[in-house]
């Protein structure tokens, strides 16, 4: 402002002093500093005005310093601090404190702008978990001032918002998204303490509870005959929310796989079914599902054309097979209960081993109660002198008694179980001599009651029996089955075909209704090494009974 030409300088000086005393420094033309400046222009030598201006300048610097200090706790006075610093700079350009105050104000201005931008992004939901948005602004603000309350509060709000989103995602069973937001919340302060850790624990508990509920429901589904599809659906839902490698999901997958391939059983499980009279049926073992190469390769020594071509067979479901051949006692229960008259009984004879001649010959009176040589059989011996129809009649009776479906094994099932995962020439591999205790085979060390020995046998091998051994006397194979590879040959369900061309690939019996010639499989106590090979097979008339052939059963699971 400018003073009037006829102004009374003393009066105007009094006005300036009064304004200074009242704290009116520069707000308008009647404030102290404008008045002192006008007085100095009117009289540059006026020392009183000079001193007043100096006092006013000092007062401005003091107020600027106070205003800047207040910005540490409250930036609402930023505009006032900016005005004070601007005035102080104009009045006292040589004061070393003024540039420092100006830097403080500029820093506060940047801090306020960053906080304001962060708050706007926070309200808009732009949290900045990927390096931009609210979090980035608040982090930049904290670089300027590490203890800025507004920035700290904003950062905490970002953390809370991320936790909120994680909990919303968890409520919607979107646990991968929830994990993303929890990681974002953790990255806000780069630790996993406090609210984030608590939220992580709550969400983990919710996930575990949901997984457990799905598992329990799936296990309940598996009890139902038609529940397998529902159980698979629950597993799929579980895998969508479970972390990779989740133990509960892995256990449920295993249980569903077991149900798919074995129903209520497990591979290797041994069980018996109850008969109607309360007694128990034969011991059965669950054979694992899988695939194998059936038959003989062209290069296999001793292989015959009916054993070819070798082909792959797959079993999508396991099955149960008798641990041993059906015994005389087991077959006798059927005969007594069903009033059955097996083929040899009706015919009055069967083929037995004749010790005097060393040959097999037909003998009157021999039937299922007879041993290999026509003498009475022991209850635990494998039943002999039965036709394939006798075996099928026993299976039908056992099915009716137990309410389960028993049948003869298919040829593929028999060879699959006999090999038990071994693709060698013999059931034990390619070695030319059976392992000790592995079965009842014709061995060079075996001797008949009258001193006979075998002409074609495993050299250097003996098992202590001339004729069949009691069922189950020798070691089981890898799948828990006894005597598949020796003791007695066994009837299977298939009709005889001269080769495997067009044979079923699913392991089903290759059966033609009305066929007369059936298949026997497995080595026998009197068989040559070539007849002990895993791929060996032979035709036999369906009415034939012999001291060399028995049978065992399978049952679906």
Each residue's pLDDT, cut to its tens digit, for the chain (557 residues) gives 788 878 888 999 899 899 999 989 988 888 989 888 888 898 888 898 889 888 988 888 888 888 777 776 556 677 887 888 888 888 888 887 888 888 888 888 888 899 999 999 999 999 986 667 898 999 899 998 898 899 999 999 999 999 999 999 999 999 989 988 898 888 887 665 688 999 999 999 999 999 999 999 999 999 898 999 999 999 999 999 999 999 999 999 999 999 999 988 999 999 999 999 999 999 999 999 999 999 999 999 999 999 999 999 999 999 999 999 999 999 999 999 999 999 999 999 999 999 999 999 999 999 999 999 999 999 999 999 999 999 999 999 999 999 999 999 999 999 999 999 999 999 999 999 999 999 999 999 999 999 999 999 999 999 999 999 999 999 999 999 999 999 999 999 999 999 999 999 999 999 999 899 999 999 999 999 999 999 999 999 999 999 999 999 999 99
Q: Of 42, 106, 532, which is closest to residue 301 (Cα–Cα)?
A: 532
User: Considering the entire predicted model, what is its pTM?
Assistant: 0.71
- Can you say whether the dihedral through the CA atoms of 22, 27, 32, 35 is positive or negative? negative
Residue with tokens 């209850």: 379
Q: Of 144, 156, 155, 185, which is closest to residue 168 (Cα–Cα)?
A: 185
For the chain, give me the number of helices (H) and strands (E)? Answer: 15, 13
Q: Which residues pair with 370 in a beta bridge?
A: 376
Question: Do 249 and 238 meet the contact criterion of CB atoms below 8 Å apart?
Answer: yes
Q: Is 23 left (phi over 0), alpha (psi -120 to 50) or beta?
A: left
Question: Do 122 and 155 meet the contact criterion of CB atoms below 8 Å apart?
Answer: no
Kindly state the helix (H) or strand (E) to which residue 424 belongs, with its residue range: none
Number of C-alpha atoms within 13 angstroms, CB side, residue 100? 6
The DSSP result for 320-382, as a single string, is EEESSPPBHHHHHHHHHHHT---HHHHHTEEEEEETTTTEEEEEET-STTB-TTSSBPPTTSB
Q: Does 3.90.1580.10 match the CATH number of domain 284-326+382-555?
A: yes
Q: Of 147, 162, 167, which is closest to residue 207 (Cα–Cα)?
A: 167
Predicted pLDDT of residue 117: 94
Question: Do 485 and 274 meet the contact criterion of CB atoms below 8 Å apart?
Answer: no
Q: How far apart are CA 352 and CA 358, in angstroms?
A: 10
What is the four-CA torsion angle of 198, 202, 205, 207, rounded to 10 degrees?
-120
Q: Of 454, 418, 458, 462, which is closest to residue 436 (Cα–Cα)?
A: 462
Q: How far apart are CA 249 and CA 243, in angstroms?
A: 9
Question: Do 203 and 182 meet the contact criterion of CB atoms below 8 Å apart?
Answer: yes
Q: Which residues pair with 546 in a beta bridge?
A: 351
Q: Where do the domains of the chain lie?
A: 9-95, 113-190, 207-261, 284-326+382-555
């Amino acid at each position: 402002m400018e003073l009037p030409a006829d102004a009374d300088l003393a009066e105007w000086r009094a006005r300036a002093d009064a304004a200074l005393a009242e704290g009116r420094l520069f707000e308008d033309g009647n404030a102290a500093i404008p008045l002192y400046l006008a007085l100095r222009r009117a009289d540059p030598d006026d020392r009183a005005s000079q001193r007043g201006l100096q006092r006013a300048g000092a007062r401005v610097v003091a107020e600027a310093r106070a205003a800047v200090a207040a910005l540490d706790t409250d930036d609402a006075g930023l505009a006032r601090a900016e005005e004070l610093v601007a005035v102080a700079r104009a009045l006292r350009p040589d004061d070393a404190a003024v540039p420092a105050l100006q830097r403080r104000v500029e820093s506060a201005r940047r801090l306020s702008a960053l906080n304001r931008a962060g708050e706007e992004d926070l309200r808009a939901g732009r949290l900045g978990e990927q390096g931009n948005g609210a979090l980035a602004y608040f982090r930049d603000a904290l670089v300027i001032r590490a203890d800025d309350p507004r920035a700290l509060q904003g950062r905490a709000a970002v953390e809370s918002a991320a936790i909120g989103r994680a909990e919303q995602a968890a409520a919607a069973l979107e646990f991968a998204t929830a994990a993303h937001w929890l990681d974002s919340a953790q990255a806000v302060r780069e630790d996993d303490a406090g609210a984030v850790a608590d939220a992580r624990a709550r969400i983990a508990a919710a996930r575990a509870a949901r997984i457990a509920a799905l598992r329990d429901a799936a296990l309940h589904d598996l009890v139902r005959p038609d529940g397998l599809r529902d159980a698979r659906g629950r597993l799929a839902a579980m895998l969508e929310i479970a972390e990779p490698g989740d133990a509960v999901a892995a256990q449920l997958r295993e249980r569903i796989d077991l149900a798919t391939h074995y129903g209520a059983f497990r591979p290797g499980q041994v069980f018996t079914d109850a008969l109607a009279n309360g007694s128990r049926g034969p011991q059965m073992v669950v054979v694992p599902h899988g695939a194998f190469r059936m038959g003989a390769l062209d290069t296999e020594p001793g292989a015959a054309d009916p054993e070819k071509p070798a082909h792959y067979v797959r079993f999508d479901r396991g099955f149960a097979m008798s641990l041993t051949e059906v015994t005389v006692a087991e077959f006798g229960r059927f005969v007594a209960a069903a009033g059955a008259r097996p083929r040899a009984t009706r015919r009055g004879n069967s083929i037995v081993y004749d010790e005097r001649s060393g040959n097999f010959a037909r003998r009157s009176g021999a039937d299922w109660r007879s041993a290999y040589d026509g003498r009475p059989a022991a209850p635990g011996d494998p039943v002999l002198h039965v036709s394939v129809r006798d075996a099928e009649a026993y299976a039908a009776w056992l099915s009716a008694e137990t309410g389960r479906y028993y049948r003869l094994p298919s040829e593929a099932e028999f060879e699959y179980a006999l090999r038990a995962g071994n693709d060698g020439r013999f059931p034990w591999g390619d070695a030319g001599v059976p392992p000790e205790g592995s079965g009842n085979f014709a061995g060079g060390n075996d001797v008949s009651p009258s001193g006979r020995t075998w002409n074609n046998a495993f050299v250097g091998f003996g098992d202590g029996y001339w004729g069949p051994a009691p069922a189950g006397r020798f070691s089981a194979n890898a799948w828990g089955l006894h005597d598949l590879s020796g003791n007695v040959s066994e009837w299977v369900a298939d009709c005889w075909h001269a080769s495997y061309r067009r044979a079923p690939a699913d392991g089903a019996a290759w059966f033609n209704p009305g066929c007369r010639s059936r298949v026997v499989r497995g080595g026998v106590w009197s068989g040559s090494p070539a007849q002990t090979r895993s791929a060996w097979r032979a035709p036999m008339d369906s009415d034939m009974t012999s001291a060399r052939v028995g049978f065992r059963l399978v049952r679906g699971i």
